[in-house]
Amino acid sequence: MKEKVKWGIIGLGSIAHQFAKELLLVEGAEITAVASRNLDKAKEFAQLYHCKKAYGSYEEIIADAEIDILYIATPHDSHTAITIKALQNNKHVLCEKPIALRYADALQMIEASKENNKFLMEAFWTRFNPSVREALLKIKNGEIGTVKYVNADFAFHVENLNGNRMTDLKLGGGSLLDIGVYPLFLAYLILGIPNEILAKSNFHESGADLQTAMILNYNQAQAVLHSSFVSSSNMKATISGTSGRIILNPLWYQAQSYSLVTNNGKVKFKLPTKGKGYTYEIEECHSCIKENKIESTLWSHQNSLDLIKIVDEVRTQIGLVFPSDII
């Protein structure tokens, strides 16, 4: 039997639960240890997901020599420091999105990956979604002609925005960094780096953006994107070209199908995911580690750097400032 990849999870909040469930679906994965700032919470989590070790501090799991790869599921502001420490302690890292609060921090993380020769990937799971991958291939093969327009959003009502990490500026709160990165990711994946960005936001009293509208202008193409904690949408994404369009069906960022619309009519392609779809990024980590790669070719270090640079520009446009921006 092949040896399993030994995972550690840091920060046992809502996405950590979802991710742990999906780790259990991947044959070559083992949840070896979990860490919380609270030992009781870690023990409870460990029991739920059949994990043998529970730590009451992040330092302990980072020092655990048995772990191959750490999944970092803490709020955005802590991604850089924890990732760098983990890489320096001989761990591969899958770090939640957004990779960091800003480009300069992401660059340091990537340098640490190179210096320590350890795998690092931003957990952009949508990149590995089968519908997204197949749709992308069709676009590349010219099945909708030249892409002229991308329309995508990520919007839902957050019940209580007060005292929540989502509006806490210290933690990198706001819809842009939490969910706006998804439509930006899709536009970037299809059209690349824009020539120009226009963006406007409405704000919470904390200063975090509640909703953000973005226009990305390219040479003969445009993307119209939106993120929101205060309005909802059905979350489909449309990629429109000179001879047809592709629709990533709702919820597009975890699509179970996509539709191709051309002069010949509309065809729906169903590609149901294993689990919710985090399994694919897990499998990507496994194959990169086995091949001694420090980055994925599907969601590379440069991809993360490009995306966070775009986010930085949107932040400048809307005037979203985090306390740590002020030196």
Ligand X SMILES: NC(=O)c1ccc[n+]([C@@H]2O[C@H](COP(=O)([O-])OP(=O)(O)OC[C@H]3O[C@@H](n4cnc5c(N)ncnc54)[C@H](OP(=O)(O)O)[C@@H]3O)[C@@H](O)[C@H]2O)c1
Examine residue 204 and tell whether it contacts ligand X (CB under 6 A).
Answer: no
Examine residue 96 and tell whether it contacts ligand X (CB under 6 A).
Answer: yes
Examine residue 165 and tell whether it contacts ligand X (CB under 6 A).
Answer: yes
Examine residue 97 and tell whether it contacts ligand X (CB under 6 A).
Answer: yes
Phi, psi torsion values for 291, nearest 5 degrees: -90, 10
Measure the CA–CA gap between 214 and 253, rounded to whole angstroms. Answer: 18
Instruction: Compare residues 12 and 307 and give the one whose CB is closer to ligand X.
Output: 12
Instruction: Compare residues 130 and 241 and give the one whose CB is closer to ligand X.
Output: 130
Closest approach of ligand X to the CB of residue 203, in Å: 19
Measure the CA–CA gap between 8 and 33, rounded to whole angstroms. Answer: 5
Closest to 215 in 3D by CA, of 305, 146, 149, 144? 149
Q: Return the residues of window 72-91 that contact ligand X according to CB under 6 A.
A: 73-76, 78
Closest approach of ligand X to the CB of residue 158, in Å: 11
Angstrom distances, CA of residue 264 to CA of 53, 143, 147, 270, 275: 56, 12, 18, 19, 33
Instruction: Compare residues 14 and 219 and give the one whose CB is closer to ligand X.
Output: 14
* Residues contacting ligand X: total by CB under 6 A: 22
Answer for which of 71, 103, 125, 188 binds ligand X (CB under 6 A) is: 125
Closest approach of ligand X to the CB of residue 56, in Å: 9
Mask 19-58, x = binds ligand X (CB under 6 A)?
A: -----------------xxx--x-----------------
By CB under 6 A, which span of 11-19, 150-158, 262-270, 303-311 interacts with ligand X? 11-19
Closest approach of ligand X to the CB of residue 81, in Å: 11
- Contact criterion met (CB below 8 Å) for 120 and 105: no
Instruction: Compare residues 96 and 153 and give the one whose CB is closer to ligand X.
Output: 96
Examine residue 13 and tell whether it contacts ligand X (CB under 6 A).
Answer: yes
Closest approach of ligand X to the CB of residue 76, in Å: 4
Answer for which of 4, 6, 15, 48 binds ligand X (CB under 6 A) is: 15
Examine residue 12 and tell whether it contacts ligand X (CB under 6 A).
Answer: yes
Residues that bind ligand X (CB under 6 A): 11-16, 36-38, 41, 73-76, 78, 96-97, 123, 125, 165, 171, 178
